[in-house]
Amino acid sequence: MSHFWRSVFFSWLMWIMPGLALAHPGLHEQVEGLNGRMKKQPSYQLYAQRAHLYYEGGQLDLALKDLDIASKLGPKEPLLFEYGNIYLAKGSAAKALKYFNQFIQFNDKLPEVYLSRARAFKQLGRSEEALRDLKHSLGLQASPPPGLFIEAANLVYSGKDSNLQPAIDLLDEGIQRMGVQGQLQERAIDLLMVHQNHSDALERMQRLGKERKHNVFWRFDYAQLLIKSGEKSDAQNELKVALREARGINATAVTDLRSKMEKQLSELK
């Protein structure tokens, strides 16, 4: 991408990002604010910004209309990614793919476009290309969100026994890169339990327990895993420990959990 187009692209991001960053006011109020500004002086940036807000709000046809107007007022290249996302949301994966491909020719360093193109590939049944783009998106990000590793692992797995270990490997890569286990380890445990690999699932749950400091919520989840693994006696012991630790904690979530554990203990006897 030339220096000129790079400047155009990042300038466009600066116009759009304020709308992305604001949690308040809501989308409707932000659109109304732009409407007022556009009555005074309509511009490329304002149409592009409003198009994004319409997209965020699910008003896809209005978003496309604003993008079409913006593309007549300024360069279309920075808008191609937004076009692709809108058509993807409309269920037109093939059309979205064309826009993503064009945008990548304009800027091949944006991780989000590879993620979106992966989703288009997936909708089109092109799983290998989808996985390639997901991995490329991961490689472009210093700190990818855990959900991206999970999405990649799910794509690899696709319910096939032979794909279990590659999917687990992707989740482990995410754990190593992020330095935390969280939902990545939870997904690995879920996959292992589907295949009744109880020992590995329990071992991973124990690792997760260290990260979560063996709090009462972790103990409850660990007990559920023990029950599914046929270890009812160990599950009872874990629930008893969790109940002892939960005493004196008056938080609503803990109170509700305590009731649930007491009921489960009585059912296990």
Domains and their CATH numbers in the chain = 1-109 (1.25.40.10), 215-269 (no CATH)
The secondary structure of residue 160, as a DSSP letter, is -
Amino acid at 216: V
pLDDT at 37: 92
What does the pLDDT read at residue 25?
A: 62
**Inter-CA distances, 51 with 47, 114, 156, Å:** 6, 21, 34
pLDDT digits (tens, 9 = 90+) for 183-237: 999 999 999 999 999 999 999 999 999 999 999 999 999 999 999 999 999 999 9
pTM: 0.74
**CB atoms near residue 247 (< 10 Å):** 9
Q: With bands split at pLDDT 50, 70 and 90, how would you rate the model's confidence at 125?
A: very high
Assess contact for 51 and 63: CB atoms under 8 A: yes
Confidence of residue 7 (pLDDT cuts 50, 70, 90): very low
pLDDT-derived band at 20, boundaries 50, 70, 90: very low
Are 175 and 184 in contact by the 8 Å Cβ rule? The answer is yes
Q: For the beta carbon of residue 237, count every other beta carbon within 10 angstroms.
A: 13
Note the pLDDT of residue 3.
40
pLDDT at 95: 98
Determine the pLDDT at residue 27.
84
